[in-house]
Structures are given as structure tokens and as C-alpha cells.
């Protein structure tokens, strides 16, 4: 076994990435305070070839040094848009046929492992503010509220961890890994 070189990884160029087919997932960042978390959202979205990121409300936007530090150039490849509120993005996405899936702990949430996205479905994954979570109005407008099971003393995960877990779960369940 040997570690692959950069050439052996066969990574897409930014232009090739922009021209490629995307996974029918959109990321919605609901008032994210940390620019490092925003950068991480770009980097993870690039890795999974996500369609687009909506940066909502107070969420910082590129170009910014702290976003770039964790995005590592993914702000050049991943399409993004800023909206003044999260509900503005939700309304737009619903009008375009996306199912809204908020990641939050609510009384009637569906555990992530129990949710089955369809292979041909279009989904928007909403990740909330580091302190307050997903806005109540957004939760009420969601088609699904998904929860990542946790077993320790803490009641939340960092948004970058939540995104990685959730996107991987969707990608694997939607058959992307099998080339479908």
C-alpha cells in the first residue's frame, strides 16, 4: 500500500467540476456565525459534488480569508448564493421541487439512519446556527426534520461534522457510490 500522489488522485479542474453533473443536494446554511464552518461547508460540498450552497442571513460570504482557510479553494468550484433570510432560500427551493430536510432535534424528528431518500429526489439539507440551531419557522416549513443519533453528554455536533455525516448518508443511500 502507498499513499496516492496528487496526479494519481485524478481530481477535476475547477472548469471540469463546474461542467460536471452534480448530486441533487443543496446545502442551506441558516445564520452560521463561524467563517471556518462556512469554509468547511464549501470544502465538503466540493468533495461530494453538491449542486449549490445557500448562505442565509448573517452567514458570511466569500471572498473572506477565514472562509478560504478551510475551503481550500472550493469557493471557486461550488456554486453559491446569499439570501437575506433562510426562509427566502426555502421558498425558492420548494418552488423548484426540492424536499427540505432540516437537521435538528425536535419531538417528531426522524433518525438519519431511518430516512430513505429516493434516487431521483432533490433535497435541500438545512444546517442551523451554532448556538440556536435551525430557526423554528424553517423547521415548520421543512418536509423532514432529521436527527443524527448521539450517545454522549453533549447534545450537538459541530456543523462541519453534521454536514459530513449527513451528506455521506444521503450519497450512499441515493446510489451515487454505485455510479447510479
Strands (E), the chain: 23-30, 50-56, 80-83, 99-103, 110-111, 123-127, 144-147
The secondary structure of residue 178, as a DSSP letter, is G
Residue 177: what pLDDT?
72
Cα dihedral across residues 34, 25, 136, 116: positive or negative: negative
176 exposed, middle or buried (CB, 10 Å; 0-12, 13-18, 19+)?
Answer: middle
Residue among 32, 74, 40, 39 at smallest CA distance from 57 = 32
Axis-axis angle for helices 159-173, 35-47 (nearest 10): 20
pTM, entire model = 0.94
pLDDT tens string, the chain, 180 residues long: the values are 999 987 888 888 899 989 999 999 999 999 999 999 999 999 999 999 999 999 999 999 999 999 999 999 999 999 999 999 999 999 999 999 999 999 999 999 999 999 999 988 999 999 999 999 999 999 999 999 999 999 999 888 999 999 999 999 999 999 887 654
> What does the alpha-carbon distance between residue 68 and residue 71 come to, in Å, rounded to a whole number?
5
Amino acid at each position: 500500500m502507498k499513499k496516492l500522489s496528487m496526479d494519481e488522485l485524478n481530481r477535476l479542474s475547477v472548469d471540469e467540476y463546474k461542467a460536471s453533473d452534480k448530486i441533487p443536494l443543496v446545502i442551506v446554511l441558516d445564520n452560521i456565525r463561524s467563517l471556518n464552518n462556512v469554509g468547511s461547508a464549501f470544502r465538503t460540498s466540493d468533495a461530494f459534488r453538491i449542486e449549490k450552497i445557500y448562505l442565509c442571513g448573517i452567514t458570511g460570504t466569500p471572498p473572506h480569508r477565514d472562509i478560504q482557510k478551510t475551503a481550500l479553494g472550493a469557493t471557486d468550484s461550488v456554486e453559491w448564493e446569499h439570501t437575506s433570510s433562510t426562509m427566502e432560500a426555502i421558498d425558492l427551493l420548494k418552488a423548484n421541487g426540492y424536499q427540505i430536510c432540516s437537521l435538528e432535534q425536535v419531538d417528531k424528528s426522524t433518525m438519519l439512519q431511518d430516512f430513505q431518500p429516493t434516487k431521483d429526489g432533490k433535497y435541500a439539507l438545512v444546517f442551523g446556527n451554532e448556538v440556536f440551531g435551525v430557526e423554528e419557522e424553517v423547521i415548520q416549513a421543512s418536509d423532514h426534520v432529521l436527527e443524527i443519533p448521539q450517545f454522549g453528554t453533549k447534545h450537538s455536533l459541530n456543523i462541519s461534522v453534521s454536514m459530513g455525516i449527513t451528506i455521506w448518508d444521503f450519497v450512499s443511500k441515493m446510489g451515487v457510490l454505485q455510479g447510479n
